Amino acid sequence: MGIPRELALEMYRRMRLIRRFEERVVELVNDNEIPGITHEYIGQEAVAVGVCAALRPDDAITSTHRGHGHVIAKGGDVRYMMAELMGRETGYNRGRGGSMHIADVQIGVYGANGIVGAGCPMACGAAYVFRRQGDRVVVAFFGDGAINQGVVHESLNLAAILDLPVVFVCENNLYAITTPIRSVTRNELWRRAEAYGIPARPVDGMDVEAVYGAAVEAVARARAGGGPSFLECRTYRYSGHYTAERNLPHVRYRTEEEIEQWRQRDPIRTWRQRMLERGWATEAELDGIDGEIERALEEAVAFARQSPWPDPATALEYMYAEPMEGIPARGWR
Amino acid sequence: MRQIRYLQAIQEALYQEMQRDPRVFILGEDIRVSMRGTTRGFVEAFGPERVLDMPISEAAFTGFATGAAMAGFRPIVEYQIPSLVYVAFDQLANQAAKMPYMLGGQVRLPITYLVMGAGAKNNAAGQHSDNPYPFLLHAGFKVVLPSTPYDMKGLLISAIRHDDPVFVLCPAALYALRGPVPEEPYTVPLGVGEVKRDGSDVTVIATGHLVQTALQVAEKLAEEGIQLLVWDPRTLLPLDREGLFRVVRRTGRVVILDDSNRTCGFAAEVAALLAEECFDALRAPVQRITRPDVPVPFSPPLEQAVLPGAAQLLQAVRRVLEWKREPSVVVP
Ligand SMILES: Cc1ncc(C[n+]2csc(CCOP(=O)(O)OP(=O)(O)O)c2C)c(N)n1
């Protein structure tokens, strides 16, 4: 399958940006500059980037608690992301959402979600509107842990019976926090979608080209009115479930060897090598992209640091599109 | 003006709004055939794409409405019975209710949730007799509870045109109630209560079908020379605070008649509000008549024992009239 060179470079850029964004986030969490809970996407970059590369800008996605990578892959601006993670007024959600709810509705990111599986029905609803209005498509990202949530199954069925243009992308990174997927499920995840009459397949989630190829096919089917598909992208997160997990030395559920084995197949390094081998880019070109990313991230951090905190007097704003007398109720006087 | 039933008022409001705005569509269980008639004839008129029969998947179709609203449509979700709201509660309390705020105002969610069969009816027992609005109010949903066919049509149309999620609860006890309703579309604004009967002795704040109960009791007490003021908030959130304070200040004696559980319920909220804002005007302790905190029992005598009704209202009215305390501020 042919990937245009420009797109290949862009996929490299986005994977690299996600990786470096997340590494920068870890530093900022450790320095107490980012409050709250953050979940890193390191290791899984090929999934978000491969899938979103198959989308048009006017397509939409729903995301998970591990959402930073999805936002960047969809074209999100790291300045507003960083500002949101730091809780600033200039952030995407004006400081009301933070890492777990980060969203950019303008570019079709309908929100990260702190409830496992909860984005799937919303993806279906958006897809229903898109199907009636034209040929836009929605991707629902969720983890392997979400496969045992009832609402995910309800959504699969709904998408199937309504022929919705949804691509369900299950990011199987083998663990739900500490629980190995094989201890809570008996069959292969993609086979469950088949049971609903949805075309489904496993995909190598460490290979951006493989993910892209599978996504192009699924998105084309959805766009042409062929209904939903299901991709089980097999991938791995190198870091803990959430950033502060490294402070819990007693929490052990994976071996160093296992982590190392997956690192051998690092999606960014392999993609870089492949591009060099194919003569699609030179070392200098790729180093140049890396440098741009560093500058963009430092700019984002500076932007966030310089941004004002939200004014506490505005804490009740945005609850309603049509605020009315007495609501939201004030909790103080 | 012609008289129609409460259920017909629902049908008419839905029909006229679907006709007016192509972004409005309706979804729910068994709505194409429509057992109760609220959506009868809709598939023929609007096609199956705007009248979606849903699988028994309350969580999914509730979230579906959220996604459709985010993408620009104006969904109406019909719940067959109120307890199904609990089945969908993650998608309501964690998603729809929080989404506009958590996203910093990036989305508006013009969703109408139509909850059929609210309250107890014909010994339907524990899982088919609820009034789940305290949960919904707590989550921040705008909630309306119309007590007449006129209010139903006007409030439902307002809800559909509103840019926030709005719950419209339809008490089963009112389905057959007839009343004057204009044929053309009109709105009753959210957040505006109404004096259903004026009086000078005791203010009864009644919700839903209990407004009719209060009016009957008022008739009876009028024969004894006791004048009840019956006030219907119509919208539980936003609550018409000014309207409430006005009717409370008129009598200084208050009974709240509310058909949901007692603890942290709507009546508790109103009583607390009056203690905060109208203490000066009160001549007696505020009385709450609610359900006790148990599921509605099946057996008819047990059911009768837990549901609020005319007998408790009569008692409570007499109780507040016994107090001789003068208000610290006399309001003409
Ligand atoms: C419905 C629900 N149950 C439990 C949790 C707590 N929780 C947060 S993330 C998580 C694990 C999710 O695993 P998975 O879906 O595989 O995603 P991953 O973290 O691997 O990306 C759990 C159990 C939650 N947020 N929502």
**Residue A66 near ligand 1, beta carbon < 6 Å:** yes
Structure confidence at residue A330 (pLDDT): 85
Token pair of B123 as six digits: 């010994």
Q: Using an 8 Å Cβ cutoff, are A83 and A91 in contact?
A: yes
Confidence of residue B324 (pLDDT cuts 50, 70, 90): confident
**pLDDT per position as a tens digit, A251-286:** 899 999 999 999 999 999 999 999 999 999 999 999
Of the candidates A171, A158, A149, the residue with the CA atom closest to the CA atom of residue A123: A158
Chain A positions in Cβ-Cβ contact with residue B100 (cut-off 8 Å): 318-321
d(CA A80, CA A66): 17
- DSSP for residue B244: H
Is residue B105 predicted with pLDDT exceeding 80?
Answer: yes
**Residue A75 near ligand 1, beta carbon < 6 Å:** no
Q: Percent of chain A scored above 90 by pLDDT? A: 94
* Burial of residue A128, with CB atoms counted within 10 A of its CB: 0-12 exposed, 13-18 middle, 19 or more buried: buried
Q: Do B162 and A105 touch (CB under 8 A)?
A: no
Chain A positions in Cβ-Cβ contact with residue B75 (cut-off 8 Å): 125
A contact test, residue of B91, B102, B160 with most A CBs within 10 A: B102
Atom of ligand 1 nearest to the CA of A142: 15
CA torsion sign for B323, B327, B330, B331 is negative
Q: Percent of chain A scored above 70 by pLDDT? A: 99
- The side-by-side arrangement of strands in the sheet containing A60-62 is A60-62, A138-143, A166-172, A229-234, A200-204
Confidence of residue B157 (pLDDT cuts 50, 70, 90): very high
Q: Using an 8 Å Cβ cutoff, are B187 and B157 in contact?
A: yes
- The side-by-side arrangement of strands in the sheet containing B112-118 is B51-53, B24-28, B74-79, B112-118, B166-171, B142-144, B235-237
Q: Using an 8 Å Cβ cutoff, are B227 and B249 in contact?
A: no
Q: Shortest Cα distance from A331 to chain B (angstroms)? A: 13
Give, in order, the Cα–Cα distances in Å from A327 to each of A195, A324, A330, B83: 46, 6, 8, 26
**pLDDT per position as a tens digit, B220-279:** 999 999 999 999 999 999 999 999 999 999 999 999 999 999 999 999 999 999 999 999
For B171-192, b/e burial (b = at least 16 CB within 10 A) is bbbbbebebebeeebebbebbb
A60–B contact, CB cutoff 8 A:
yes
Atom of ligand 1 nearest to the CA of A115: 26
Q: Using an 8 Å Cβ cutoff, are A17 and A293 in contact?
A: yes
Largest CA distance in chain A: 67
CA torsion sign for A269, A275, A278, A283 is negative
Element (DSSP H or E) covering residue B51 = strand B51-53
Q: Do B59 and A150 touch (CB under 8 A)?
A: yes
Give this prediction's pTM: 0.95
* Burial of residue B299, with CB atoms counted within 10 A of its CB: 0-12 exposed, 13-18 middle, 19 or more buried: exposed
A37–B contact, CB cutoff 8 A:
no
Confidence of residue B325 (pLDDT cuts 50, 70, 90): confident
**Residue A228 near ligand 1, beta carbon < 6 Å:** no
Residues 6+ apart with CB under 8 A from B49: A132, B25
d(CA B183, CA B189): 18
d(CA B205, CA B37): 31
A121-126 mean pLDDT: 98
Looking at the DSSP assignment, which residues form a beta bridge with residue B76? B26, B112
Q: Do B238 and A101 touch (CB under 8 A)?
A: no
Confidence of residue B329 (pLDDT cuts 50, 70, 90): low
Chain B positions in Cβ-Cβ contact with residue A67 (cut-off 8 Å): none
A330–B contact, CB cutoff 8 A:
no
SS3 for B170? strand
B55-66 mean pLDDT: 98
**Residue A169 near ligand 1, beta carbon < 6 Å:** no
Element (DSSP H or E) covering residue A260 = helix A256-263
Confidence of residue B142 (pLDDT cuts 50, 70, 90): very high
Structure confidence at residue A135 (pLDDT): 98
d(CA B16, CA A331): 40
Confidence of residue A249 (pLDDT cuts 50, 70, 90): confident
d(CA B97, CA A329): 15
B291-320 mean pLDDT: 95
A199–B contact, CB cutoff 8 A:
no
What is the rounded radius of gyration, in angstroms, for the C-alpha atoms of chain A? 20
Element (DSSP H or E) covering residue B310 = helix B310-322
Confidence of residue B331 (pLDDT cuts 50, 70, 90): low
Atom of ligand 1 nearest to the CA of A241: 19
Backbone angles phi, psi at A218, to 5 degrees: -65, -40
E strand segments, A49-90: 60-62
Indicate the residue type of B291.
R
Q: Using an 8 Å Cβ cutoff, are B202 and B321 in contact?
A: yes
Interface of A with B in 220-249 (CB under 8 A): none
Instruction: State in Å: Cα A38 to ligand 1 middle.
Output: 13
Give, in order, the Cα–Cα distances in Å from B90 to each of A132, A151, A244, B9, B96: 27, 10, 27, 31, 9
d(CA A89, CA A305): 11
**pLDDT per position as a tens digit, B25-41:** 999 999 999 999 999 99
**pLDDT per position as a tens digit, A12-29:** 999 999 999 999 999 999
A118, A138, A320 ranked by CB distance to B63: nearest:
A118
ipTM associated with this complex: 0.92
**Residue A172 near ligand 1, beta carbon < 6 Å:** no
d(CA B230, CA B217): 10
Concatenated DSSP letters of B94-123: IIITTHHHHTTTS-----EEEEEEES--TT
Residue pairs between chains A and B whose CB atoms are closer than 8 Å: 156
d(CA B73, CA B86): 24
Indicate the residue type of B37.
G
Contacts 24+ apart (CB under 8 A), A21-29: A21/A68, A21/A72, A21/A78, A21/A81, A21/A297, A22/A68, A22/A69, A24/A297, A24/A301, A25/A68, A25/A85, A25/A243, A26/A239, A26/A243, A28/A85, A28/A86, A28/A301, A29/A243, A29/A244
Instruction: State in Å: Cα A91 to ligand 1 middle.
Output: 25
A74-102 mean pLDDT: 97
Average pLDDT, chain A: 96
A197-208 mean pLDDT: 98
Q: How many CA atoms lie within 13 A of A68 on its CB side?
A: 33
A314–B contact, CB cutoff 8 A:
no
Active site residue B162: no
d(CA B224, CA B215): 15
A128–B contact, CB cutoff 8 A:
yes
Instruction: State in Å: Cα A173 to ligand 1 middle.
Output: 12
* Number of residues in chain B: 332
Structure confidence at residue B166 (pLDDT): 98
Is residue A186 predicted with pLDDT exceeding 90?
Answer: yes
Instruction: State in Å: Cα A179 to ligand 1 middle.
Output: 10
Of the candidates B34, B30, B36, B113, the residue with the CA atom closest to the CA atom of residue B77: B113
SS3 for B206? strand
Q: Using an 8 Å Cβ cutoff, are A18 and A73 in contact?
A: yes
d(CA B179, CA B177): 7
A97, A154, A161 ranked by CB distance to B104: nearest:
A97
Is residue B332 predicted with pLDDT exceeding 60?
Answer: no
Residue of A nearest to B103 (CA): A93
B57-70 mean pLDDT: 98
Residues 6+ apart with CB under 8 A from A70: A41, A48, A52, A61, A63, A64, A109, A112, A141
